[in-house]
Structure 1
Amino acid sequence: MDTIPLVHASLGDRELAAVAEVFASGWPAGQGPRGAALEARLTERYGVGDAVAVSNCGAALHLALLALGVSPGDEVIVADYTFPAPAHAVRYVGAVPVFADVRADTGTVDPQAVADLIGPRTVGVIAVDTVGLPADYAELTSITERYGLFLVEDAACAVGATYRGRPAGALAPIGCLSFHGRKGATSGEGGALLTTDPAHAADARLRSSFGIGSIFEQAKVVGLPIPVFTDVGYNYKLSDIAAAILQVQLDRVEELLERRRAVAARYAERLAGEDLLTLPHVPADRTHAWQSYLVTLDPRVDRAGLAADLRAQGIGAGHGTWACHRQPVYEAKQQCPVSADLFARNLAIPMHAELTMTQVDRVAEVLRGALRTHARPHGTQEGAA
């Protein structure tokens, strides 16, 4: 039986050759020449003031909030339907995450929900490009500027996506990227902070290296420079090994994204007209990076049973992402009904650049059949005998 994994990284000989060059250079650690070259490449690609390569997107979000001066007791509005990294970052600085519900059609944060949550302690908003689809940044920018709030873009899933012709990651004054193994460009783990303000980048770069800057650069100085620790920093550096891999991956982004687009188009064709699921919606003013492909199941479908059936037949399946306000760690009192509904009904099916059309067709065929097996008849109430 052909096993079709939910995710698969597109790494090969070019990436291996880049790693070999780093090994030969004698500097595999962070903030070396490959890291500096990657930062320059990101700055140019996204048209921002500066870029800071870091160990992961969670680190980038944490550094962003530190650079913005978020303090204990401040409230930061965060998109609810997402991996909880943004809310975690808010907690890291002692602030309070306030969860905003999302749009039913896109799963991205609802600007009206954001506006309704603004209060006297609100200092900013973290929007999320949900599984690769950018949020409504025109509306979000208008709201945050009106109330004097910061806006951060969590573009962890959206490398290669666009909003009104602009690249995801550069849609807010600070954007955070992920290069995790399932993303459109990957080094296994990794991330970056992109910003229009070089001062924010300088703050993030210093804090990402324990607060003392690049040891590689200091080693070039004649004499014996002794770094001075003036503030608490973190070990959020990205290794030069990972940076070298990412330079190759950035060369391949369009090629890999085109393959993902082809997979998404094939799913849309093969699953069209299926009344037990709803396909992803992409508004006309943006493009999707297709980190994940989520279908929304009819309420009659037993998602757990369906996923187990797919996995038993060698097809990867997942729940999608999280309704963060439902997670015990936050003990949130508020309700986000749209997010909660998507959390209960979304199903992730295989999506990556290594899928063949034959595999996509098999996923669609098996999914269609399994839907009938795991759907209650019309009029049957959940839990009824």
Structure 2
Amino acid sequence: MDAISMVHASLGEQELAAVAEVFASGWPAGQGPRGKALESMLTERYGAGDAVAVSNCGAALHLAMLTLGVKPGDEVIVADYSFPAPGQAVRYVEGVPVFADVRADTGTVDPQAVADLIGPRTVGIIAVDTVGLPADYTELQALADRHGLFVVEDAACAVGATYQGREAGSLAEVGCLSFHGRKGASSGEGGALIATDPAIAHHARLLASFGIGSIFDMAQVVGLPISEFTEVGYNYKLSDIAAAIMQVQLGRIDQLLERRRAVAARYAELLADEELLTVPHVPEDRTHAWQTYMVTLDPSVDREGLATKLRAQGIGCAHGTWASHVQPVFESKQVCPVSADLFQRNLAIPMHAELSMDQVERVVDVLRPALRTNASSTRSLGPA
């Protein structure tokens, strides 16, 4: 029987045609006409002051820290249960990431945990839309306003999700997107910085191109313009090849999200009565982008043994995401017990727009008996 992959990018003939157009144009590099068109598309979609297409979401987070003025020694409160990119972005500018614990039901940052960590050196908050589910931005923004802090939304996993009717990526003064291959809309790699203030985006665009801006624009000037390098910049440009793919993907996003939602709904239906795991919780005031379908296992289940069993039968799976505070790179002495618990008990199972309902049912048919096989004998499980 064919394997069922955990992730699969929905790329096809439309994307290939867009790439062929870029090849014919003669400008495959970054900050060219397709990149500009993508930025305009993003600005309109998110109702932003401006948008900057970049090489990945990590670059967007780094640019956010730079343009928001984080200095060495400044503390930025970071959602703990996440791919560690937000904490690393703070470290890039020699700031101090202070990790905030998360809600047990959603895995998103707990506003009360954030409030408890605000101190004299705190300058901002990075919230994370955990595997596609937006955080509690009303409460977080109220805290930020009260203490004069910035808020950055790491919406890497959440393109297409909403919070109180607003699009994920537009829920803070700066939003950071990812177009990685496992996201709901993907160009293989890529990202964007979405800013309410056009000045922040303008600065980010310069820094993303070594501090000198678009070489494509300079090539259109009659004469011989010679740029001056006035500050240290980076090579964070998104190629026009990737930008063209993303334009097509954004045009398809509603269709792709609808498929993911159907998969999530079927999993929830099939697993509703399963006592050895809990399916994802989505509060009524938001929608999920379903980058990942992550179940929380009962403490009696041996996750490694379960994963081994699933993979042996061709079912892709992974641990979910990370408790950042326990990663050696941060040398953190903080304790985030909820995040640490989710890090040990969550399991990601196949989720992408190409899954058929037959495949979803096969995943569950393999998962159910494997749960019982890998649960401790101290729990009364009934027949396998």
TM-score band, normalised by shorter chain: over 0.9
Q: What aligned pairs does 1:132-143 form with structure 2 within 5 A after superposition?
A: 132-143=132-143
TM-score (norm 2): 0.98
Distance apart, 1:272 and its partner CA:
1.2
Q: Which residue of 2 aligns with 1:341?
A: 341
Counterpart in 2 of 1:383? Answer: none
Query: Is 2:200 aligned against 1:196?
Result: no
Give the structure 2 partner of residue 269 of structure 1.
269
1:378 Cα offset (Å): 3.0
TM-superposed deviation, 1:109: 0.1
- The amino acid that maps onto 2:12 is G
Residue in structure 2 matched with residue 168 of structure 1 by the alignment: 168
Measured against aligned partners, the alpha-carbon deviations of 1:130-162 in whole angstroms (never above 9, x if no partner) come to 000000000000000000000000000000000
Q: Which residue number corresponds to residue 107 of structure 1?
A: 107
Q: Are 2:367 and 1:376 equivalent residues in the alignment? A: no
Code of the residue aligned with 1:86 in structure 2: it is: P
How far has the Cα of 1:2 moved from its partner? 1.5
Distance, in Å, in 2 between the alignment partners of 1:138 and 1:75 is 22
Q: Which residue of 2 aligns with 1:50?
A: 50
In the TM superposition, what are the counterparts of 1:1-385 in structure 2 within 5 Å?
Answer: 1-378=1-378
- The alignment partner of 1:125 has SS state of strand
In 1: Cα distance, 2:334 partner to 2:91 partner:
17
What is the CA–CA distance in structure 2 between the aligned matches of 1:164 and 1:242, rounded to whole Å? Answer: 31
Q: Deviations over 1:264-308 (max 9, x none)?
A: 000011111100000000000000000000000000000000001
Cα pair 2:159 2:177 within 8 Å, conserved:
yes
In 1: Cα distance, 2:377 partner to 2:46 partner: 50
Q: Tell me by how many angstroms 1:377 deviates.
A: 2.2
Q: Which amino acid aligns with 2:141?
A: T
Q: CA deviation at 1:379?
A: 5.4
Which residue type is aligned with residue 242 of structure 1?
A
Please list the CA deviations of residues 27-83 of structure 1 after superposition, one character each: whole Å capped at 9, or x if unmatched: 000000000000000000010100000000000000011000100000000000000
Secondary structure at 1:295's aligned position in 2?
A: strand
Once superposed, which parts of structure 1, at least 4 consecutive aligned residues long, lie more than 2 Å away?
A: 377-380
Taking the aligned partners of 1:243 and 1:333, their CA distance within structure 2 comes to 41
**Rounded Cα–Cα distance in structure 1 between residues aligned with 2:57 and 2:31:** 17
**Structure 1 residue matching 2:329: 3-state secondary structure:** coil
Distance 2:317 2:194 in 1: 32
Name the CA distance, whole Å, in 1 between partners of 2:339 and 2:298.
15
| Equivalent position amino acid for 2:30 in 1 | G
Q: What's the C-alpha RMSD, in Å, of the aligned pairs?
A: 0.7
Paired positions, count: 380
TM-score normalised by structure 1 residue count:
0.98
SS at match of 1:329: helix
8 Å CA contact 2:300, 2:379 repeated in 1? no
Q: Deviations over 1:76-135 (max 9, x none)?
A: 000000000000000000000000000000000000000000011000000000000000
Q: What are the ranges of 5 or more consecutive residues in structure 1 without an aligned counterpart?
A: 381-385
Instruction: Give the SS at the match of 2:328.
Output: coil
Q: Secondary structure at the match of 2:371?
A: helix
Cα distance in 1, alignment partners of residues 221 and 272 from structure 2: 63
Structure 2 distance, partners of 1:73, 1:173, is 22
Gaps of 5+ in 2: none
**1:304-331 deviation digits (Å, cap 9, x = unpaired):** 0000100000000100000000000111
SS at match of 1:11: coil
Structure 1 Cα separation of the partners of residues 272 and 100 of structure 2: 31
Letter in 2 for 1:195: A
Write the letter of the residue equivalent to 2:132: G
Cα separation, 2, equivalents of 1:18 and 1:222: 29
